[in-house]
Amino acid sequence: MLQDDMLALPMSTGMGGDMGGMGDFSAPAPVAMGGGAVTTPKLSGKAKAAIVVRLLLNEGADIPIEDLPDELQMELTQQMGKMRLVDRDTLYAVASEFAEMLDNVGLTFPNGLAGALTAMDGRISRHTASRLRKEAGVRQFGDPWERLKALPPEDLAALAEAESIEVAAVLLSKLDTAKAAQMLVHLPGPVARQITYAVSHTSNVTPETVDRIGLSLAGQVDARPDLAFSSTPGQRVGAILTEAAAAKREEVLFALEEEDQEFATDVRKSIFTYALLAQRMQPLDVPKLMRILAAPDVITAIAFASDPDDVATSEFLLDNMSNRMANNIREEVAERGKVKRADGETAFGLIVGAMRDLINTGEIELISEEDEEA
């Protein structure tokens, strides 16, 4: 976009100028107009920057002027306040000169370290990115509130709970309504009520105060050490036990409950088994699962199922696939006879594994435990 290039240009070309973000127009070249040549009057870089900005605004362009340092925003605004009328020849000359300068640009780089980190996101290690953030300082990375809004709601709730009610009310007010609602869900009831009531006292909070709160909260996030694991201990053990044989899974869970009831509960929440398919899967997603499963594995699993919850899952799958496929599978199951435990549990594992793959790729979404309880 032209308006984005306008602000990025000086950074990419090394051109200085009175306005920084606009370049130096102090020596304009003659511009042909009709039969003669028109030379831009001796205008300062600030004046030419103001003319270009005013022209783009008149054309309806959304110029990211807020990306400029505060000092340059002030200078630009003050310069526009001093300007009056500009004749057509001058306007044409300034615009042509600016357009020519843009045409000569072959490559632009991100605006400062913040832009560079954004461009390199996912291509450099988290450890390196964290070091750069800490060395450069929080303010080097743009609006701290944009970074805070990107945090998961449970992380935002932890931040709010650790702060004063007044700070938490500002945090809640700065979030999108959906994210704010999700944050409240992860807070204890009394704390959530106190924070929402405190929002009524934020009408006189100044922008400077909001900025300082954002910087402080973002600084706390940056100060957190990098973690070796992205998932919780309960999730990791739950994923392992999901793949384990049923007998071994129950044996381990029984031992965990004796050692640490709370941890065992977290593990149980992260375990996904064949029996849970009927409870956590959307009926409309069954055809997606069937498309990536081998028919013999489905037949083996359904023939092996004997526990009431496993049988319920088998019926759930059969009821939500095509009638032709369901009838064929029922006939094959009737002819299959007894299935060995090892073969049956292997088939269960393959179906659960295929389900997890669909979840990880975002093709399907499980019914949450909250939805189940509702």
The CATH class for the domain spanning 143-223 reads mainly alpha
The chain-wide mean pLDDT, for the chain, equals 80
pLDDT tens-place string over residues 206-243: 988 998 898 888 878 766 766 677 778 888 898 888 87
Residue for token pair 């807070």? 187
Per-residue three-class SS string for 275-338 = HHHHHHCCHHHHHHHHHCCCHHHHHHHHHHCCCHHHHHHHHHHHHCCCHHHHHHHHHHHHHHCC
pLDDT band with cut points at 50, 70 and 90 for residue 30: very low
Decide if pLDDT at 312 tops 90. yes
Residue 150, pLDDT score: 86
Decide if pLDDT at 260 tops 80. yes
If one compares 81 and 119, the residue with the highest pLDDT of the two is: 81
Checking 154-157 for CB contacts under 8 A at 24+ apart, the result is: 154/186, 155/221, 156/183, 156/186, 157/183, 157/184, 157/185, 157/186, 157/187
Rounded distance between C-alpha atoms, residue 44 and residue 34, angstroms: 26
Among 40-44, 158-162, 328-332, the minimum mean pLDDT is found in 40-44
Among 81-85, 113-117, 361-365, the minimum mean pLDDT is found in 113-117
Contact 30, 38 (CB under 8 A): yes
Fold of 272-373: Annexin V; domain 1 (1.10.220)
Decide if pLDDT at 45 tops 80. yes
User: Whole-model pTM?
Assistant: 0.45
Residue 22, pLDDT score: 39
What residue segments make up the domains of the chain, in order of their start?
Answer: 2-103, 143-223, 272-373
Rounded distance between C-alpha atoms, residue 366 and residue 356, angstroms: 10
Decide if pLDDT at 3 tops 50. no
Phi, psi of 155 (to 5 degrees): -70, -40
- Report in angstroms the alpha-carbon separations of 81 from 17, 46, 53, 70: 19, 12, 13, 17
- Which amino acid is located at 349 in the chain? G
143-223 and 272-373 have identical folds: yes
pLDDT tens-place string over residues 137-146: 544 445 788 8
